[in-house]
Each structure stands twice: as structure tokens, then as C-alpha cells.
Structure 1
């Protein structure tokens, strides 16, 4: 695409404004005439037969399970299935999504067939015991991606989401930003699937889904990095102007301006965002078809400019006209969804465009109603906040609640031709919105709101409130999913913080006990082996093995921290000994380890070899000091430890023998298990030995350790190719220099990433077989594949 491509910004926005003004005029006329009151009264009378249930005394006893709180995601789905309500619940939910996100008319037989297909598929997923617990887990998402052949796209996306979350300022809600991104990506994928033809090949489907994931992320990135950023008041006034002008120039010219300099405190943040948005913009631009490019840029400009018009409004200004309040809302709510089709390069569909244009304000008014008190607190101008502040001073102001019901009436009868299914779904949604709002703000606050916004039509309001009190079966899956997603993301973040704090605390404790003192009766003042051992132990080690062992021992099996100190020291001594051997000139010939020169560089090869041998014996000596446990149990643990050390030596020998040779994946997995997996296995099993865990649990821990160890080694291999030496504490490229057989050299980077994730998923799935709390191990796995050192 020519970077000098230019749209006539003023002309396209004026054209959009004229269309929005005409729509608003139509709605305004209906509000003034109050046509919606009788029309919707008749609609509700028809609608309520499916939602107002009369229960007899006997039926109350025979209904079985009580309805659970819908905040309990899995329990609520199970209850719906148990009571036979799940089919209707999913049908209205998917029907709503097909209307809102896909711009479909529900009276179309093809649309109804698609909805039934989606409902059937979703029901199987939700009621499948194996799958339902994995709704938002990385393992569950990866398994889904595997079925579609888009694993690499998902890996790319997860890395992007992680980076975005870590770069968001603390003033912005990381969970909400991630949720919005996921929602936009899902919407783009749905549009792409709807555009696919029935005879599409699996390869072409995979390509289209891959593109949809990346396009969805690229478009979705505008929400946290443009809309949310400008709303968060993080940037100074001058920065906001510069940033807005940068976005405007990009959309008008079709090219992202260079960011040569930035005046303000947020330069680092803006440079990161500029880089990400530039890449996203270029990706979208490169995947536009010639015939859709103009439409994409025009819709994008309308979306951005209408948000800007709305954003600069000041709640202290008492002179905004109704047109100034509502026309930007009509434009931004419609264009945000119209863009999605142009993003994927879909062909023009005038019926879709019209329905989506008229539908947008319905969602916007519903969202603004739900958020009115938060918006009022933030000083944001919305139809509701403005009416709250000026309704008693400005008799000309349109009541937004009345406009909301006017929009509903107009949609049902003028846009969707009085279709019964459309009436059902839209009224379900509207009543559900009021019920959720009432539940959130409480009865007294709800009465105040209704007294203000619905006072002009007491009869209609009484009917509405009657429905809010009595109506059943009006909830929606997307709302349940939204609440569950936010809860899950917040819980994940809290668990991750707890995990990081635990790691930090226990690591400090372990560092404080590793130093090896010189014996008092030693006749030599200088002891090079102990000095060498302490030198290597003082390095910036991760201490993963003793940390895992501490957590399993103390938090899982309830052992005393002081009682297992010798075990923690022994694990780190064994691991450090293996690193010393690995680094020797006869082995990997490494010059740095843990951010410092390797042991043989500081001392010499002989001292290094002796220190490695010394630490393996010191590890056994520490295990004999586990004097608070049964002697037979300790002996069993020592025998196991000795076997692990022997097997790790075999693994290193296999590694040395493999250099310059082609290895199969099976051979590489075996070598990796001996070199790395056994160390993790020991850190899990040794506390289990001391706690006399059952054999079945020990086997599950072994399986977990095997896959976790392989995933860890693959990540190490990947970091040796693409890692940052500063963060790693050692030079990269050593595997290639030593002609080592690695997962990357045998499989290539992309296939190695897939293999890492395959082992991650297998390890995560094994946690189901461990009858203990496994939250720490879940985050330990996440750390393994997400670490940068």
C-alpha cells in the first residue's frame, strides 16, 4: 500500500455525522411522541409469558437444586444443565452475540442454523467434565489452538498479552485491558469464521484463523493504548495533544509518523506504545484488500474522532445540546463494530452496515447506564451523567433512559421487522441489565435512579419494575463469561504475586543457609575447596529446586521449615555441583555462570573438579542430618538421592556423546530428563518421602517433574538462541558453539516452542492426579515457560 494514501477526514466525518444526525432526529421524534410506551407495553405483555412463572407449593419442593449465585461460573452452568435451562440460556446468549457482534438478523434460517450449531458445540464443551475446568487456562487454550493448527499464533499472542500487561501503568486496570483485548480478538475470529465458505480446506482455515488472531490483537490494542490511555489521565495535557495528533495523522495519511522526540514525563511509555501500535497498524494495513482500504481508514477515523469529540467534553459545561451529546455516541458505538469487518477485509454488506449502525447506541446506552456512578465520579460526560447533573435546570434535555427504550422499540419494529425472536432476545437483555444494576447498587439506590429516569411514565415504569422483580431466565452467557474472566484474571494476578513473594522470601532464606563454614580444627588457614564452593554458591542462583522442595514440604505436606533445612541445602549443593561440571573446558567450556566468571576461570580446572565432587558428598552429608524423621525414611531418601546423582551423570555423558550427532526427539527427551527433569523430580519427591506420601501420588509427581523438566530445558535452549545475556547472566550461543544437540538444533525454534508447550500442557494436566493444593506448581510451570533468564 502507498504510504501517501490520504483520506478526506473532514468529508468522511461530516458524512457520518449527517447519517447519525438523521438517525438521532428519528429517535428524538419518537421520544417526544412517546411512541415506545404503548409499543413496548404490548411487546412486554407478549414477552412475559416466557419469563413470569407461577410455582405451586409442590413444584417448589420438586425443583431440586437451588439456583446458585451466577458468580460461581461452573456451578451455575451445572445448575442450568441440571434444570434443563441450559439450551435456552445458550440460545438467547448466542442469538444476542450474532446480532451484536456479527450484525445478523435472527429471522434468517441460515442464521438460526448457525446459532443452533454453535449452541450444540458450546454445550458439549461446557458440560464436558474434562474441558470445563480449563475455560481460561493456558493449557486449555493451547489444546484448543492445537485442534485448529494455530499453536504458534497462540504462543505469539500470549507473549504479547504478557508484555502489554507488564508495560501498563499502575493507574490502568491490567485485568480489564486484557479482557478487552481477548474480547476484541474473539470478535474478529467470529467474524472471520462467519466469512469462511463451507468448502474451505483445513490449511486455508488455519491460515485465516492465524491472521484473525493477529488482526484481532492489532485492532484490540487500540483500546488500552488509545482509548483507555487517554481516559486514564496519565498523560499531561500537552502529551495528550501530541499523542492524539500522532494517531490522527496516522489515520489520515495511512502512515505512522516517526517519534523523534517526546516532551513529557511519559516518554518511555509512549515509545513502547508507539512501537507496538506501529507494528499493529502495519500488520492491519498489509492485510487490507485494495477494495476495503478506503472504508477501513474512514471507519477508523470516524471511530477515533467521535471518541475525541466525546472525550474533551467537560461536565461543568451546562450548554451541550442533545445533538452534541448523542451524535458522537451513535458514531463511536457503530463504527467500533463496523471496523471489525473491514479489518478482516470482508466484502461490503449493506444490510450488516445498516443493522450495526442502528444497533450500536443500544449497547452504548446500556453500558453508560451501568457505569453512570463511576463515570460521575470521574467527571465523564455521558447522557446519564449530564442528565443527572442538569435535568432540573435544562428542561430541553432528553432523558437518556427514555431514549434507551425508544432505541429498543425502534430496533425491534423498524430495524428487525417486529421479529418475535429479536423481541425476545432484546427484552431479555434489557431486563437483565436492570436486574444486574439493581443487584449491584442496592434497592434504595435503584429506587432513586428509577424515580429520576422513569418518573415521566409511571405506568410503563411499574410494568418494567414488575418484570425486574419477577422475570426469570433473562441472564446471558457473555455476562457470566465476562465476570468469570475478570475474577479469573484478578485471582491469577493475586496468585502470581503470592508466588513471586514466596519465591523471593524462600530464596533469601535459602541463600542465608548455604554458606559452608570452615571447621574449627582445620590446620590449614587456606582451604581452596571450601572457598571455591562458597564462591559458586554466592552467585545469583535461582534456587528453584530447594524452593520447590520447601513449598512441597512446608505448604503441601505440613513439615517444619527448620526440620527440612538440610534437605534444602543438599538439593542446592547437588545442583551447583552439576553446574560446575557442566562449565568445565572438557564439557561446555563456559566462561560465565550466574553473572560471574565460572569456577575454573577463577581457580583452576582441578579445584573445580574437586569442588564438584565435594559438593555432591556434602549434599549426602546434609541428608544424614534429617534427624527429625524416621531413620528408615531418611535412608530411603538417601538411596534415592544417590541414584538421582548417578543418573544425572549419565545424562551429562549422553549430552557429551551427542555432540555433532543427530539425535531423535525421543533420545533428546531422555537425555533432558536425566539432566534436568531428575533434579525437579528430586525436589518434589524428597519431601514426599519424608511425609510418607502414597505411591500413586509419587507417580503423579514423577510424571509432572518429567514434563516440567523437559519444558524447562527447552526454554533454556530457546533462551540460548534468543535470550538477553544481561538477564541470563551468561553468554548466549554456547550450544551452537559447542555443537550441542538441543531442541532448537533438532526441531527448529518454532517446533521447539510447540514441544515446550506440549510438555507444559502434559505437566499441567498431571496436576489433576495430585490430591493436594497445586496452585504453586501451576505458577511454577508458568514461570518455567515465561522466564527471561
Structure 2
């Protein structure tokens, strides 16, 4: 590395250190003199008038019925709206974001106007979307909900891109790191960058320019946010060896100093493949940020990024067993990393800094960092991390010179309210709301006994002031924030999503194994003239590595959805897979698709001959009908209804295949292609859901909803197949790619292009997910099925 560049980077870091040291010294003086106590007590006396209420007997019984936690996210928003508290709740929440993330002064009329517009927009969204109501749209933070929001802004392609990126990142989070937390952080950073960009937009901006800026914001947010899981969190985790951490740190340092990502070189350590992937992703992200940087902000971006990285490194190598760190060594790095992380966000979007922005942001960072470190102190202690709180807990009784971080926290609050924000009443309200809310959340999570023990350590230096604070923690209301509610909601959703995915995969594997065990066709005895080669051929086709999606769907809906016994529907499961396999045999014939492989093996007509393949297809079709006659645990009228429906489905499948054959060499319209794909794919999905519904005597409205779901899920499935034929990996797919183009087939890709096909797939996915709101039973499996359809790689 160029020594001159390194010296310049270190010199800039020393300047930032000097600024932080000056700020820390002023805070230390205020703390030692306890000049913060009397003004804050006065502030709290004024503040508490809005937060300690006298309740009537009636209101006493209604209190506590709705908790502001993730389990009651939608109910809590409804309750706030019903009680008239939603406006104030959103106002303090949005004001806090403008204060913390945007570095705004709340006493500015322009800022207040922006906050009000944001509050009004958010309130309208929250009060008009509740996914617990039948027929409403999915949660705005689900994939379907996010895609619908993207459609309103004309950035569907960008949303598809970033969802695919987040999926890829999540798949590469190694053991030892929290994938859900990494995903949440990444989404949070993207949202933060979008917020900055939207705030900078002129009200007269054209629709086209707004779309372009939002596209850039999402890509910039992802590019910047990627550094959190793949630099910050990775270096904190016990994934890399010490030698690997040194290599990786040198790579990042080189990039920030030279403004250029080095080429991939030989990696020493067991995590070479992980680092190779990360190197590739971060290189692309870095180049995207660099290309969009304006000359006037580029220098600031790299300087702040280096300060952030280096201050993290300084903190990271600290050892909790070292009893000799000075107060400056403990606090100056956190002042630097907490302020620079927010300064970077402004420079990454090349936004100008308004008057006072740097001072406000630099002064504010430690407030937020001390609050976070307090909340995480026991996790940090467990991991052996050095923070002001873990260090003070370890050495407060051995070193009288140590600054108490809890006292410093309140000193920072005083300094912000009275010196940085000039005693602005709105700022005082928001900051005190946040401080008391943080303590209330910590007390709830830890329990009163453990909380009091913690307070006995950190609040011992000023018992009178602590008494005032703790009374507010016990008594104050209306201090909670939307971003905390949303954070809890997201974490719960991500964990629930992971559990549902695990259950989905487990169900797929378990039921698939059961189905595979009873699928083989037995030899036909009793002097039958049926030739054994046809049975062998049938079993060859059935033994392939099939997904068994259709009978699995039937099993889940029949057993878990409608409570039918497993043994009673075995004939139906066989019937569905026999019919599906027969359709594949016919589809692969030379007279139709002339496919060489199916399910990772040579197609049936390649292994046997065309005549045998045709006979086997007919044989399995008849076996499918025969199996339905063995549904003897259901009344005959119900079985006849099912068989009548089944025969209609078989006819429709033939119609779809005929349309497919007739379309060869012709250019279909999108409407014709949709209809053909429904008959070929969606109709089988429909049958898988409707047949168990028929056996369970489900309501007609429910069956209609299931049909709509199957229609759109089926078409989404076919679009994904078309995309995989262009973009897929042949080794993963188990069949050659590019066959559609080779056979001159009309596909969604040939009509709409890759981008248009992806948009169409996501539109069908959204409608399918929205339709599930109409199904009056647990639809977790179908939701995960829809997710699998659009996210699968084979």
C-alpha cells in the first residue's frame, strides 16, 4: 500500500479523534460538576405532565389489554387510533427519526412541515391496511406488500432486484451469525437511505425523476448496508480465525485508503469460499457507490468511511480482561463510530449538509450508542466485548477514576437538549420520551429484580436524580415509538418466516418420503395379459427425482387443513402423481417436446421406446382413475363428485397440451399463454387443493378462493420455469437449459422479456398471496409454497 496514502488516512483519523476528544472533555466537565442534574430534573417535571395521567375506574380496566409488542402490532395500531393517541405516537416517532437519522433541528418550520406530511401519510397507510381482516392486502413488510408499494412508485424491477439480493445474502450468512438480524439491519439501512433521498426531493419533482432517485436509493442502501453483515457483524462474530480477521481487515483498509477494491488473491483459512463471495458482492457494491458519488462529496464519503471502520477496529481489539483502559480510550472510539455511521449516509447519497448538520450529528451519535450499549450489555458481557457498560460493571469497584456510562448518558441528554438544540421544547419531549422508553423496555425484558440490581450499580452516584428517573420508568405512559414496534414486528415476522420455511421443508421431505414409498405399481397377477415392461417403465418414471408438489399439497390440505385421516387419502395421492407423471411422459415424447432428460434422468422413451412410453402414459392415466375408486372411507356420492371433477381436470390438461403443440412456431398473445399455462400447470395445482376440499365438503366460497390461488400460483410457477430455462443452472435443474428457444416455444420470456416476465411472476404471486386472506384456515404451507415457487432454483 502507498505509504503516503496511509499517512494521509491516519492524519484524517487523528483530526477526527481530536474533535471527539474535545467533545468528550466538555461532557466530562459537565458530568464532574453535575451541572446536568438540576436542569434535567426541571425538564422532567415539565415533561411528566404529558406522561403521568390519572385514570378513571373505567379506563383502569381497559389498560393493559393491548400491549405495544410485536404480537399485537396491528391491534396496537388500531387501539392507538381508537383512543386518539395515534397522532401523538406517530409524531414523536417520526420526529425522532428526523432528529436521529436525518440530523434535522426540530424547531425548523420546514422540518415540522415535513414531519407532519410523513405522519399523515404513515397514518393513512396504517389505518387502511390490516392483514388480519379478510380480503385485505398482505402485511406491507411481506414480499407481496413490499412489491405492491414498489408498484405504486414504478420501481418493481428494483424491488425484485433487491429482494433477490437479500435472499442471496441471507443464504450466505454463516453459522455463528444471526441471519434474521442481518436481514433486518440490511432492510433498515435501505429504508434509511430511502428516507434521506425522499427528504432531499423537491416537491415539484417529476414522476420519472422520482422513480430514478428511488431506484438509486434502494441500490445505494443495499450497497452501503451490505457492510453491516459482511464487515461489522462478520468481524464481531466467531466465524473467522484471528489470521483471517487480519487478512480481511487489511483488505477493507486498503480499499478505503486507495478507493479501489483489490483483486481476489489466495486466501489463508477455512473460510475462503465465504470471503470470495463477500469480496465479489462488496466489490460490486463499492463500485456502484463510487460511480454515483459527486466530486464534492466523494472525499467526505471515503474519509468518514475510514473513520468509521478504524474506530470499529480500535474498539474490536479491546480485551475485557485489560483493567487499564482510560476513559478516553473507552469513549472516543464510540463517539467516532456512532457519528460517522450517520454522516456516511448523507455523503453516500451526495446530499449537501445544511447548516448545523455536522455539529448535531456528531454530538448526537454517542447518545444513541450509549442507549444501545445499555440495552445490549448482558449480551456484550457474554461475548466478552468491551463497551462502557461492560467495562464499568467489571471494574467500577476497583477503579474510582472510571466514568459511569449511565451518568454520562444523562449528561449527553442534557447537553443535546440545552446546548445543541437550544432548549427546544419539542426536542426535549422526544429525547426524554426515548430515554424513558429505553429504560422501560430494558426493565420489561430483564425483569424488575435484575433491573434494580443493574440500577444499584449505575445509578449509585446520584441517588436523588435516580429516584426521579425511576419514578418516570414506573409511572410514565405514552413514551413508546413506532420504530421499536416495527423492529419487534420485523424480528417476530422474520423468525416466524424462518420457522414456517423450516416446517415447509420438513413437511415436504417427510410427506415426499411417504408418498415415494407407496407410489410404485405392483406386478399384475391372476393371468393378466399386461406386459411387465410397461409396469417397469411406469415405475422408472415414478422413481425419478420428482418434487411431488401436487400430492404433497393434497396431503397438507387434506390432513392439516381439513382433518382427513392420512390413510383415507392415500389413493388420492397416488392418483394425482400417476396423472401428473403420465402427463410428463406424453410431454417428453418426440412428437411433442422431444425432451432428452426428465427429473435428472433420461426420459422414458429414450430408455425404452416411443411405443412403450405411450402405453405407459395410458396405463398411468387409467391407474389414476382406478385409485380414486379406492377412496372407500368417503360416501359414494362424494367420490363420484370427485371423479367427475377429476375427469374435467384431465380433459383441461389435454386441452392445455394441445394448445401448447398448436402454438409451436406461432406467436401467442399473453392472454393465450396465460390460458395455456393454466391448463398445463395451474389446473393441476387447483386439483391438488380442490379434491381434498371436495372430500371435506368445504364451502363453495373457500373453494373459489383456492381456485384463484391455484390459477395465479400455477402461472407464477410456469413463468419461473421459463426464467430458469434462460437463467438457471443446468446442474441444479437436472435438465438442459435453452430448450424453449431451441424449440421456438412461446414463453413468458419470449413475449415479455426477462424483466417483464419477472414482473408478471410477482404480480401473480401477489394476487395468490392476497387471495389466501379469503381462506378460513391456516395457510402457512400455501404461503411458503408461493414463496418457494418464485424463489426456487430448480
Pick closer, same or farther for the CA change 1:214–1:58 going to 2, 3 Å. closer
* Residue of structure 2 equivalent to 1:9: 9
After TM superposition, give the deviation of residue 578 of structure 1 in Å.
0.9
SS of residue matched to 1:563:
helix
Q: 1:557 aligns with which of 552, 557, 562?
A: 562
Query: Is the CA contact 2:724–2:737 (under 8 Å) kept in the aligned structure 1?
Result: yes
SS of equivalent to 1:35: coil
| 374, 381, 386: which one aligns with 2:391 | 386
* Aligned position for 2:85: 85
Matching residue within 488, 491, 516 for 2:496: 491
Q: CA deviation at 1:70?
A: 2.8
Identify the residue that residue 21 of structure 2 maps to in structure 1.
21
Q: Secondary structure at the match of 1:564?
A: helix
**Which moved further from structure 2: 651-660 or 241-250?**
651-660
Matched, 1:248 2:253: yes
Which residues in structure 2 correspond to 1:352-363 (within 5 Å)? 352-363=357-368
Within a 5 Å distance, the mapping from 1:469-480 to structure 2 comes to 469-480=474-485
Paired residues of 2:524 and 2:530 also in contact (CA < 8 A): no
Change in 2 beyond 3 A, CA 1:66/1:16:
same
Out of 656, 678, 683, the residue aligned to residue 683 of structure 2 is: 678
Q: Which residue number in structure 2 is paired with residue 322 of structure 1?
A: 327
Aligned equivalent of 1:168, options 173, 184, 199: 173
Of 298, 305, 321 in structure 1, the residue corresponding to residue 303 of structure 2 is 298
Kept in 2, the 8 Å contact 1:90–1:477? The answer is yes
1:588 maps to which residue?
Answer: 593
Contact 1:399 1:453 in 2 (8 A): yes
Matching residue of 1:725: 730
The Cα of 1:250 is off from its aligned counterpart by: 0.6
Q: Structure 2 CA distance, aligned partners of 1:330 and 1:5?
A: 24
Q: Note the 1:621-636 alignment, pairs <5 A.
A: 621-636=626-641
Match of 2:574 among 541, 557, 569: 569
Asked if the contact 1:5–1:254 (Cα under 8 Å) also holds between the matched residues in 2, the reply is no
Encode CA deviations 1:219-278: one digit per residue, 9 max, x unaligned: 111111111111112111111100100000010111111222111111111111111111
- Structure 1, residues 42-84: CA drift from partner, whole Å, max 9, x if none? 11111111111122446546x6884435332112111111111
1:264 corresponds in structure 2 to 269
Equivalent residue runs for 1:233-244 within 5 Å? 233-244=238-249
Q: Which residue of 1 aligns with 2:286?
A: 281
1:74 is aligned to 74
User: C-alpha offsets along residues 131-172 of structure 1, whole Å, 9 cap, x if unaligned?
Assistant: 685132111111001001111111111111111111111210
Q: Which consecutive residues of structure 2, in runs of 5 or more, have no partner in the other structure?
A: 132-136
Cα distance in structure 2, aligned partners of 1:5 and 1:205? 38
Q: Deviations over 1:646-674 (max 9, x none)?
A: 11111111111112222111111111111
CA contact (8 A) 1:65 1:79 kept: no
Deviation digits for residues 166-199 of structure 1, max 9, x if unmatched?
1111210111111100110000000010111111
Q: Which moved more, 1:517-526 or 1:628-637?
A: 517-526
Cα distance in structure 2, aligned partners of 1:55 and 1:574: 67
Structure 1, unmatched stretches of 5+, are: none
Q: Which moved more, 1:490-499 or 1:118-127?
A: 118-127
Matched, 1:139 2:144: yes
Match of residue 747, structure 2, among 714, 739, 742:
742
SS of equivalent residue, structure 2 residue 48: helix
2:112 is the counterpart of 1:107: no
Report what 1:502 is aligned to: 507
Q: Distance in 2 between matches of 1:739 and 1:130?
A: 46
- The answer to which of 51-60 and 152-161 deviates more is 51-60
Q: Secondary structure at the match of 1:748?
A: helix
Q: Alpha-carbon deviations, 1:488-543, whole Å to 9, x = none? A: 10011011100100000000011111101111234679622111111111100000
Q: Does the CA contact (< 8 Å) of 1:7 and 1:297 recur in 2?
A: no
**In 2, Cα distance between equivalents of 1:526 and 1:562:** 30
Aligned twin of 2:134: none
Q: What is the 5 A alignment of 1:298-697?
A: 298-522=303-527, 527-697=532-702
Per-residue CA shift, 1:616-658, capped at 9, x if unaligned?
1111011111111111111111111111111111111111111
After superposition, the Cα gap between the structure-2 partners of 1:677 and 1:333, relative to the gap in structure 1 and judged at 3 Å, is same
CA distance in 2, matches of 1:67, 1:47: 24
- 1-side partners of 2:93 and 2:378: how far apart? 27
* Matched-pair contact (CA < 8 Å) for 2:69–2:488: no
**1:726 offset after TM fit, Å?**
1.0
1:202 to 182, 186, 207: 207
What SS class does the counterpart of residue 662 from structure 1 fall into?
Answer: coil
Q: CA deviation at 1:100?
A: 0.4
Tell me: CA distance 1:534–1:7, structure 2 relative to 1, closer, same or farther (3 Å): farther
Change in Cα spacing, 1:734 to 1:67, as seen in structure 2 (3 Å) is closer
Residue 607 of structure 1 and its aligned partner are, at CA, apart by 1.2
Q: Scaled by the length of structure 2, what TM-score is found?
A: 0.97
Q: Does 1:214 align with 2:219?
A: yes
| Partner Cα separation in structure 1 for residue 231 and residue 145 of structure 2 | 31
Report how far residue 126 of structure 1 moved.
Answer: 1.1
CA distance in 2, matches of 1:319, 1:583: 75
CA, structure 1 residues 147+470, in 2 after alignment: closer, same or farther (shift >3 Å)?
A: same
| 8 Å CA contact retained: 1:727, 1:788 | yes
Q: TM-score, normalised by structure 1?
A: 0.98
Q: How big is the shift at 1:781? A: 0.5
SS in 1 for 2:706: helix
Name the CA distance, whole Å, in 2 between partners of 1:116 and 1:192.
17
Aligned pair in 2 of structure 1 residues 429, 355: CA closer, same or farther (>3 Å)? same
In 1, the alpha carbon distance for the partners of 2:689 and 2:787 equals: 17
Instruction: From the superposition, tell whether residues 67 and 532 of structure 1 become closer, same or farther in structure 2 (CA, over 3 Å).
Output: closer
The alignment of Structure 1 onto Structure 2 pairs a total of residues equal to 785
The structural deviation recorded for 1:574 is 0.7
